[in-house]
Chains A and B, each alone.
Chain A
Amino acid sequence: MLEIHNLSKRYAHGDEPVDAVVDVSLNVAPGEFVGVQGPSGCGKSTLLLAAGGLLAGDSGHVLLDGQDPYALDPDARAALRARRVGFVFQQFHLVPYLSVLDNVLSPSLAMMTDGAAGRAKMLIEHFGIGDRLHHKPGELSTGERQRTALARALLNRPGIILADEPTGNLDAESARDVLEYLTEFTRDGGAVLLVTHDDRASGYAQRTVRMRAGRIVEG
Chain B
Amino acid sequence: MTFLSKPMTVWRLIAKEILHRKLNFALGVFSVMAASGVVVAQFTLLRAHDLSTEHILQAKHAKAEVRLAKMEDDYRKYMKELGFNLLILPKEQDLTEFWESGFASATMPESTVTTLANSKKILVRHLLPIVQQRIDWPEQKRRIILMGTRGEVPLVHRKPLEPMLLAVPAGQCVVGYELARDLDIKPGQTITLRGTSMEVQHVRSECGTAEDATIWVGLADGQKLLGLEGRINAIEALKCHCVGVSSAQTRQEVVGILSGQVKVVLRENKVTLRAKARDRAKAEHVQAMASELASRNRLKQNRESLAGVIVPAVLLAAAVWIGLLTLSNVRERATEIGILRAIGVRGRSIIGVFFTRAMVTGLLGAALGYAAGLTIGIIVQRSSPSLRVESAGELFEPLLMIIVLVAAPLLAMLASWAPAMLAGKQDPAVILARE
Give residues in A with beta carbon < 8 Å to B: 45-46, 49, 52, 54-55, 74-75, 78-83, 85-87, 89, 91, 93-98, 101-102, 105-113, 116-118, 121, 134, 152-153, 156
Known A-B contacts: A82-B343, A109-B8. Give 19 more (CB < 8 A): A49-B429, A49-B432, A55-B429, A74-B346, A75-B347, A81-B343, A87-B339, A89-B339, A93-B432, A101-B4, A102-B8, A106-B8, A106-B13, A107-B344, A109-B9, A109-B13, A112-B7, A116-B8, A117-B6
Shortest CB distance B283–A (Å): 74
Tell whether B190 is near chain A: CB-to-CB under 8 Å.
Answer: no
Q: Within the complex, what minimum Cβ distance (angstroms) separates B11 from chain A?
A: 11
A106-B8, A117-B7 known; A78 vs B345 contact (CB < 8 Å): yes
Which residue of A has the minimal Cβ distance to B5? A117
Instruction: Please state if A95 and B339 are interface contacts (CB–CB under 8 Å).
Output: yes
**Does B338 sit at the interface, judged by CB under 8 A?**
yes
State A89–B434 Cα separation when bound (angstroms): 12
Binds A, one of B16-24, B89-97, B266-274: B16-24
Check: B340 CB closer than 8 A to any chain A CB.
yes
| 3 nearest CB pairs, A to B | A82-B344, A97-B20, A110-B344
Chain A, residue nearest B335 (CB): A93
Cross-interface CB contact of A109 among B19, B345, B428, cutoff 8 Å: B345
Q: Does B26 sit at the interface, judged by CB under 8 A?
A: no
Asked if B432 contacts A54 (CB within 8 A), the reply is yes
Provide the residues of chain B in CB contact with A112, threshold 8 Å: 7
Residue in A closest to B12 when the chains form the complex, CB atoms: A102
A46's nearest neighbour on chain B, judged by CB, is B433
Q: Report how far A106 CA is from B336 CA in the complex, Å.
A: 11
Residues from chain B with a CB closer than 8 A to the CB of A121 are: 5
Q: Which residues of A contact B8 (CB under 8 A)?
A: 102, 105-106, 108-109, 116
| Other-chain contact of A45, B6, B17, B344, B433 (Cβ < 8 Å) | B433
A216 to B342, CA, bound (A): 25
CB proximity to A under 8 Å, residues B309-363: 335-336, 338-349
Binary CB contact string for chain B from 131 to 142 against chain A (1 if under 8 A, 0 otherwise): 000000000000
Instruction: Tell me the minimal C-beta distance from A124 to chain B in angstroms.
Output: 12
Say whether A152 contacts B343, CB under 8 Å.
yes
Chain B, residue nearest A97 (CB): B20
B contact residues around A118 at 8 Å (CB): 5
Instruction: Report the nearest A residue to B350, measured CB to CB.
Output: A109
15 examples of A-B residue contacts, CB within 8 angstroms:
A55-B433, A74-B347, A75-B347, A78-B341, A82-B343, A85-B344, A86-B343, A89-B339, A93-B338, A97-B19, A108-B8, A110-B340, A110-B343, A112-B7, A156-B344
User: Please, how many angstroms separate the alpha-carbon atoms of A52 and B428 in the complex?
Assistant: 11
The distance in angstroms between the C-alpha atoms of A203 and B4, with both chains bound, is: 39
Partner pick for B340 among A54, A79, A85, A109, CB 8 A cutoff: A109
A165 to B345, CA, bound (A): 23
The residues of B that contact A113 with a CB separation of less than 8 Å are 7
- Does B183 belong to the interface (CB within 8 Å)? no
> Which residues of chain A come closer than 8 Å to B433, judged between CB atoms?
45-46, 49, 55
Taking CB as reference atom, which chain A residue is nearest B347?
Answer: A74
A59–B340 Cα distance when bound, in Å, is 27
Chain A residues with Cβ under 8 A from B9's Cβ?
Answer: 109
The verdict on B162 contacting chain A, using a C-beta distance below 8 Å, is no
- A95 with B336: in contact, given A55-B429, A109-B8, A116-B7 (CB under 8 Å)? yes
B435 within 8 A of A: yes
Chain B's closest residue to A92 (CB) is B339
Chain A residues contacting B341 (CB-CB under 8 Å) are: 54, 78
- Contact residues in A for B16 (Cβ distance below 8 Å): 97-98, 102
Q: B290 in the interface, Cβ–Cβ < 8 Å? A: no
Residues of B with C-beta under 8 A to A109: 8-10, 13, 340, 345, 349
Tell me if B207 counts as interface (CB < 8 A to partner A).
no
- CB contacts (< 8 Å) of B343 on chain A: these are 81-82, 86-87, 106-107, 110, 152-153
How far does the alpha carbon of A83 sit from the alpha carbon of B344 in the complex, in Å? 8
Q: A172–B330 Cα gap in the complex (Å)?
A: 36
Contact between A108 and B7 (Cβ–Cβ < 8 Å)?
Answer: yes
**Whole-angstrom CA separation of A106 from B432 in the bound complex:** 17
Q: Would you give the 0/1 interface string for B16-36, flagging 1 where the beta carbon is closer than 8 Å to chain A?
A: 110111000000000000000
B428 & A75 in contact (Cβ 8 Å cutoff): no
Complex contacts, B338 vs chain A, CB 8 Å: 93
| Shortest Cβ distance from A119 into B: residue | B7
Given contacts A45-B433, A91-B435, A109-B8, contact A78 B336 (CB under 8 A): no
Most A CB contacts (10 A, CB to CB) among B1, B9, B10, B340 go to B340
Distance to closest chain B CB from A93 (angstroms): 4
By a CB distance below 8 angstroms, the chain B residues around A86 are 343
With A55-B429, A97-B16: A105-B342 Cβ-Cβ less than 8 Å: no
Q: Would you call B429 and A93 a contact (CB within 8 A)? A: no
Is the beta-carbon distance between A106 and B340 smaller than 8 angstroms? yes
Q: Closest residue of chain B to A96, judged by CB?
A: B20
| B257, chain A: closest CB distance, angstroms | 98
Give the CA-CA distance A134 to B8 in the complex, in Å: 14
Q: Mark B407-435, 1 if CB is under 8 A from A, else 0.
A: 00000000000000000000011001101
Distance in angstroms from A153 CB to nearest chain B CB is 8
How distant is B323 from chain A, measured CB to nearest CB, in Å?
A: 22
Task: Give every chain B residue within 8 A of A93 (Cβ-Cβ).
Answer: 335, 338-339, 342, 432, 435
Q: Which residues of A contact B345 (CB under 8 A)?
A: 78, 82, 109-110
